[in-house]
């Protein structure tokens, strides 16, 4: 993966930069020794590693603003980092950039039941929000599988989802307000405890912007009352096509389950070996459908889903009769990644989305590609919303296998776009999918996105080298077609 | 008025405007042209011909439609498949004295959401992707036709509620949802705003899944045909399968607290009541201006207490208190007082929705932005429309 050429001038000024940063934040908040910085040299996409210029861990929003302002004035790049769990390299350091860690922003500032929200600093973990309110029957809905570790600020940067976003939405749908710091060092408060404002939805574009537009310094999150009951069905199928159809049938019947997950044969067996969850070995596909809500409703809908599954040709159906059993159904799914890790030295986790009805076509494509590249693939899907997580199995110690696995992954993502889907459903573009962006977007599409970037960060100092394959200078992006040698409105002020 | 049929023609029209140094006003059916500020323009561009449903896959919960399609045509198509726009867009035609409900593009451009916004999300939460021509005269697309997508910036959020100031949109892809099988409402009596908000907070702290919550002061309740004597009526809507709705209604009836009457409103009447709450026709007969306030739900009682003694006004609350619809005197004083009260009580946004006395010449229709947000918003506008060709000044000065 090629990153932009580091600025040697900045690297040469490293000592002076560290000294200046130590005047902006307490000296102990600047980490500049090689050994200590090693802890920050990668995020969840650990195939890519790079030591940063320096690590800064500010303690207040004013310090974040001062660091940003100073870096802008000095032409020093900044890479923001939450908990570092990104799977796409969004927080991968750059040799000539300061890594701005939000780890010290770890406090929940306010639990407000009257307005049904929590105000928290960005370094608080996703699960800690639910922990803070669950005693009173509330929870925070987005539940990415890394929720024990990932930070809510990172969730905003990546617009994180989870297994329940079919019914409850992604981060963007559960976020009421943010405080953010721009590359100019300006502190903005967007949204709040109210629902809608009549302004440009800058919070909406900040969400999922992968740390390219600003640094999130506070979040206000909507909390919901925990559903009275949750029950799940565990359904086996002898072919993946019927399983795919069954998923569509549930939605077509007007039922929006809290979660609807699918696994293929390889994933089923790996998960069963690992978790003993009672999964149907030998089935070609398995679906977990979870329904939540008032007890009477859940019981009725469980019956309807069971009927739909039987008509779609299910080979086995189990319905959870207790919380223990429901958790067991999930135990296999939730351990799918480590379980696959046991049957292969390494694996690549992909993340594309397709229109749900194309699932059977995608399974055929993956089987073909698996043969072509000589690598196995295990599949776990958020089937309800068409979000695929193919796990490509390989051995990094075999020369060329990583590259082959990456090519395999790129072909899957190409297939996603060709089938009407997108490159990434929830992991983000980051570094991983940066060079594939042109499959989904034209040059003009990407230029328009980068113009938005220029409005926030005119010198491309914030997290450069991520998301976009080509960096265009903002002056070049802002240029208009010139008609007959004259700019229209030559006297208009340009912002 | 030049009428465009597709984005190629839109691009040509925008480039032409640039060349002639013209600013354009984008017009669908013009039903919402009174919302926002008066834009500066030399010519209108009629976008209402870009009509039709492009693709609708009910089992994918996804609808692709051209932005000039009427809201009623969209809703009729969804209705056939037993689905809906879950954000429940309002029909403000009675309030705004317009001929129809307008286009889906207009709904998205104004991010107009109804009572279910509280629990299901706003228009902006349902726009998955779009095709457009920017104020630069260039075609671009963003988002996609699938529900889960984090590829590139989420420009759908920005386009929603941008009042046509950034781009001319054509095809939009919207997430749809199944229509609930049944619904009903419960009416609770309440002595004042504070206890009404507290009652709602209690109901939302229960697992009985309220879907919408409004607070109607007695005169407004009476106008809605509600025959209860209390000073305030809390209206709670429950939706879902019949078994569940009845079960939850049973639980919630016990939560009336002070022993006041709890009435049950059956489905047909409940639907009419919520349509009237959604469409603001409960205030349509009031002579003054209509304002819309988005505030922290628990702040609603303080905001009303700060305003009510000083003005001849009427109001009611939706979104559990988080949306206040107010009718008050024309001019700047009422709006200024609302914005001052908001600032004191948790922040939010006060917007003049229906100007019946040239108030807009005295006070901006949209709440002025803090300086840093204003300059960033101007740079965002410039990123899409550097010459200010599209709906210039519709939202804010220069935006």
pLDDT at res. A493: 44
Of all residues in chain A, the one with the smallest CA distance to B166 is A200
Pairwise CB contact (< 8 Å): A205 & B134:
no
Whether residue A317 lies within 8 A of chain B, CB to CB, comes out as no
Q: What is the percent of chain A where pLDDT is above 90?
A: 90
pLDDT at res. A197: 85
Pairwise CB contact (< 8 Å): B146 & A421:
yes
Q: What is the mean pLDDT of chain A?
A: 94
What is the ipTM metric for this complex?
Answer: 0.97
**What 3-state DSSP class applies to A345?**
coil
Question: What number of other Cβ atoms are within 10 A of residue B343's Cβ?
Answer: 12
pLDDT at res. B3: 93
- A128 pLDDT more than 50: yes
| Residue B225 to chain A, least CA–CA distance (Å) | 29
pLDDT at res. B1: 80
Interface A-B, measured as beta-carbon pairs within 8 A, has a size of: 313
pLDDT at res. B258: 58
**Burial per residue of A28-67, b for 16 or more beta-carbon CB atoms within 10 angstroms, e otherwise:** ebbbbeeeebeebbbbbbebbebbbbbbbbbeebebbbbb
Residue B121 is nearest to which of A116, A169, A188, comparing CB atoms? Answer: A169
Give the Cα-Cα-Cα angle B92, B96, B97 (nearest 5 degrees): 110
- Best residue in B35, B86, B151, B302 to probe A by mutation, most A CBs within 10 Å? B151
| Residue B100 to chain A, least CA–CA distance (Å) | 23
| Residue A190 to chain B, least CA–CA distance (Å) | 8
pLDDT at res. A482: 60
| Beta-bridge partners for A179 | A189, A218
Pairwise CB contact (< 8 Å): B122 & A196:
yes
SS3 of chain B: helix, strand, coil, percent, to 5: 35, 25, 40
- A301 pLDDT more than 90: yes
Distance separating alpha carbons of residues A188 and B377, to the nearest angstrom: 12
Of all residues in chain B, the one with the smallest CA distance to A135 is B205
Residues of chain B positioned with their CB less than 8 A from the CB of A186:
372, 376
Domain boundaries defined on chain B: 7-178, 182-279, 289-361
Residues of chain B positioned with their CB less than 8 A from the CB of A192:
296, 346-348
**What 3-state DSSP class applies to B53?**
strand
- A483 pLDDT more than 60: no
User: Scanning the structure block, which residue is given the tokens 């900045």?
Assistant: A10
Distance separating alpha carbons of residues A139 and A85, to the nearest angstrom: 22
Poorest-pLDDT segment among A361-370, A486-495, B17-26 = A486-495
B289-361 CATH choice from 3.40.1000, 3.30.70, 1.10.3120, 2.160.20:
3.30.70
Q: Which of B346, B315, B190 is nearest to A115 (CA)?
A: B346
Whether residue A156 lies within 8 A of chain B, CB to CB, comes out as no
Q: Which of B128, B132, B36 is nearest to B384 (CA)?
A: B132
pLDDT tens for chain B, 399 residues long, are 889 999 999 999 999 999 999 999 999 999 999 999 999 999 999 999 999 999 999 999 999 999 999 999 999 999 999 999 999 999 999 899 898 999 999 999 999 999 999 999 999 999 999 999 999 999 999 999 999 999 999 999 999 999 999 999 999 999 999 999 999 999 999 999 999 999 999 999 999 999 999 999 999 999 999 999 899 999 999 999 999 999 999 999 988 655 667 999 999 999 999 999 999 999 988 889 999 999 999 999 999 999 999 999 999 999 999 999 999 999 999 999 999 999 999 999 999 999 999 999 999 999 999 999 999 999 999 999 999 999 999 999 999
Pairwise CB contact (< 8 Å): B204 & A166:
no
| Residue A35 to chain B, least CA–CA distance (Å) | 34
User: Scanning the structure block, which residue is given the tokens 């359904």?
Assistant: A235
pLDDT at res. A492: 47
Distance separating alpha carbons of residues B188 and B182, to the nearest angstrom: 20
Reported as a pLDDT band with limits 50, 70 and 90, residue A495 is very low
Q: Looking at the domain B182-279, which fold is it?
A: Alpha-Beta Plaits (3.30.70)
- A475 pLDDT more than 60: yes
Domains of chain A: 8-101 (3.30.43.10), 108-225 (3.30.465.10), 229-337 (3.30.70.2190), 344-428 (3.30.70.2740)
Q: What is the percent of chain A where pLDDT is above 70?
A: 97
Q: Which long-range contacts (CB under 8 A, 24 or more apart) does B307-316 make?
A: B307/B337, B307/B338, B307/B341, B310/B337, B311/B337, B312/B288, B313/B288, B314/B217, B314/B219, B314/B220, B314/B283, B314/B286, B315/B217, B315/B220, B315/B283, B316/B214, B316/B215, B316/B216, B316/B217, B316/B220, B316/B277, B316/B282, B316/B283
Poorest-pLDDT segment among A403-417, A481-495, B73-87 = A481-495
Longest dimension (CA), chain A: 76
**Residues in chain A, overall count:** 495
Residues of chain A positioned with their CB less than 8 A from the CB of B15:
481
Q: Do domains B7-178 and B182-279 have the same CATH topology?
A: no
Pairwise CB contact (< 8 Å): B158 & A452:
yes
| Residue A111 to chain B, least CA–CA distance (Å) | 14
Reported as a pLDDT band with limits 50, 70 and 90, residue A486 is low
Distance separating alpha carbons of residues B140 and B7, to the nearest angstrom: 10
pTM of the entire structure? 0.96
- A494 pLDDT more than 50: no
| Residue A124 to chain B, least CA–CA distance (Å) | 22
3-class secondary structure for B131-164?
A: EEEECCCCEEEEECCCCCCCCCCCHHHHHCCCCC
**What 3-state DSSP class applies to A338?**
helix
Of all residues in chain B, the one with the smallest CA distance to A474 is B383
Pairwise CB contact (< 8 Å): A425 & B209:
no
Distance separating alpha carbons of residues B198 and B176, to the nearest angstrom: 32
DSSP state of A58: -
Q: Which of A229, A82, A182 is nearest to B371 (CA)?
A: A182
pLDDT at res. B254: 85
Pairwise CB contact (< 8 Å): A448 & B384:
yes
Residues of chain B positioned with their CB less than 8 A from the CB of A453:
153
Q: H-helix or E-strand containing A270?
A: helix A265-275
Q: Which of B49, B65, B46 is nearest to B57 (CA)?
A: B65
Whether residue A423 lies within 8 A of chain B, CB to CB, comes out as yes
**Architecture in CATH of B7-178:** 2-Layer Sandwich (3.30)
């Amino acid at each position: 993966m090629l990153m932009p050429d580091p600025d040697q001038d900045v690297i040469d000024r490293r000592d002076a930069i560290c000294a200046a940063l130590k005047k902006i934040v307490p000296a102990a908040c600047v980490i500049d020794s090689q050994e200590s910085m090693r802890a920050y040299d990668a995020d969840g996409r650990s195939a890519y590693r790079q030591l940063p210029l320096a690590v800064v861990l500010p303690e207040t929003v004013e310090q974040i603003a001062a660091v940003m302002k100073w870096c802008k004035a000095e032409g020093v790049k900044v890479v923001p980092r939450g908990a570092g769990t990104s799977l796409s390299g969004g927080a991968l350091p750059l040799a000539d950039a300061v890594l701005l860690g939000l780890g010290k922003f770890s406090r929940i500032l306010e639990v407000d039941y009257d307005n049904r929200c929590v105000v928290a600093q960005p370094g608080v973990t996703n699960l800690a929000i639910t922990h803070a309110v669950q005693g009173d029957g509330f929870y925070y809905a987005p539940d990415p599988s890394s929720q024990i570790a990932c930070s809510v600020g990172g969730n905003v940067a990546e617009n994180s989802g989870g297994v329940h976003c079919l019914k409850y939405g992604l981060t963007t749908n559960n976020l009421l307000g943010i405080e953010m710091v721009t590359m100019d060092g300006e502190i903005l408060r967007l949204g709040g405890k109210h629902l809608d404002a009549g302004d440009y939805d800058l919070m909406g574009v900040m969400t999922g912007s992968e740390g390219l537009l600003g640094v999130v310094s506070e979040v206000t999150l909507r909390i919901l009352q925990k559903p009275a009951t949750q029950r799940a069905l565990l359904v086996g199928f002898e072919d993946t096509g019927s399983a795919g159809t069954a998923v569509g049938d549930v939605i077509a019947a007007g039922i929006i389950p809290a979660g609807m997950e699918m696994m293929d044969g390889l994933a089923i067996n790996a998960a069963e070996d690992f978790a003993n969850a009672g999964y149907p070995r030998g089935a070609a596909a398995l679906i977990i459908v979870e329904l939540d809500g008032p007890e009477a409703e859940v019981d009725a809908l469980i019956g309807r889903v069971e009927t739909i599954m039987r008509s779609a040709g299910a080979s086995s159906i189990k319905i959870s009769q207790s919380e223990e059993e429901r958790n067991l159904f999930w135990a296999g799914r939730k351990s799918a990644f480590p379980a696959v890790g046991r049957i292969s030295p390494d694996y690549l986790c992909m993340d594309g989305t397709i229109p749900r009805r194309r699932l059977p076509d995608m399974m055929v494509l993956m089987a073909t590609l698996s043969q072509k590249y000589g690598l196995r693939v295990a599949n776990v899907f958020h089937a309800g919303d068409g979000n695929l997580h193919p796990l490509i199995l390989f051995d990094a110690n075999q020369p060329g296998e990583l590259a082959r696995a990456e090519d395999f992954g790129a072909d899957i993502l190409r297939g996603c776009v060709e089938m009407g889907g997108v490159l990434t459903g929830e992991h983000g573009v980051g570094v991983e999918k940066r060079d594939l962006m042109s499959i989904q977007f034209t040059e003009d599409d990407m230029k328009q996105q980068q113009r938005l970037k220029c409005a926030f960060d005119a010198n491309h100092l914030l997290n450069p080298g991520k998301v976009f394959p080509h960096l265009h200078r903002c002056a070049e992006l802002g240029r208009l077609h010139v008609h007959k040698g004259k700019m229209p409105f030559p006297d208009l002020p340009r912002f | 008025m030049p009428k465009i049929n597709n984005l190629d023609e839109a691009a040509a029209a925008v480039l032409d405007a640039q060349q002639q140094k013209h600013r354009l006003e984008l017009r669908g059916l013009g039903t919402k042209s009174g919302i926002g500020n008066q834009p500066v323009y030399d010519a209108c561009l009629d976008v209402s011909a870009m009509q039709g449903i492009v693709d609708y896959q009910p089992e994918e919960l996804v609808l692709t439609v051209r932005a000039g399609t009427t809201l009623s045509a969209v809703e009729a198509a969804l209705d056939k498949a037993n689905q809906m726009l879950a954000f429940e867009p309002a029909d403000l035609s009675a309030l705004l004295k317009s001929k129809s409900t307008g286009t889906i593009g207009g709904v998205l451009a104004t991010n107009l959401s109804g009572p279910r916004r509280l629990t299901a999300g706003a228009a902006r939460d349902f726009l998955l992707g779009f095709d457009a021509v920017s104020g630069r005269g260039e075609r671009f697309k963003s988002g996609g036709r699938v529900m889960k997508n984090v590829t590139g910036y989420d420009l759908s959020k920005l386009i929603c509620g941008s009042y046509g100031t950034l781009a001319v949109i054509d095809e939009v892809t919207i997430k749809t949802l199944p229509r609930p099988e049944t619904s009903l409402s419960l009416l609770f009596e309440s002595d004042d705003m504070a206890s009404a908000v507290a009652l709602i907070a209690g109901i939302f702290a229960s697992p009985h899944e309220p879907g919408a919550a409004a607070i109607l002061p007695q005169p407004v309740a009476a106008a809605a045909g509600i025959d209860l004597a209390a000073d305030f009526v809390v209206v709670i809507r429950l939706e879902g399968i019949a078994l569940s709705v009845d079960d939850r209604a049973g639980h919630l009836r016990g939560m009336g607290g002070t022993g006041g009457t709890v009435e049950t409103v059956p489905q047909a009447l409940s639907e009419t009541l919520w349509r009237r709450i959604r469409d603001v026709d409960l205030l349509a007969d009031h002579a003054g201006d209509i304002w819309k306030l988005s505030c922290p739900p628990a702040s609603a009682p303080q905001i009303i207490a700060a305003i009510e003694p000083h003005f001849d006004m009427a109001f009611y609350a939706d979104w559990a208190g988080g949306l206040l619809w107010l009718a008050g005197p024309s001019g700047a004083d009422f709006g200024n007082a609302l914005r001052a009260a908001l600032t004191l009580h948790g922040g939010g946004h006060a917007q003049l929705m229906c100007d019946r006395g040239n108030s807009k010449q005295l006070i901006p229709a949209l709440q002025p932005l803090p300086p840093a947000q204003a300059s960033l918003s101007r740079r965002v506008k410039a990123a899409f429309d550097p010459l200010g060709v599209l709906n210039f000044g519709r939202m804010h000065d220069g935006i």
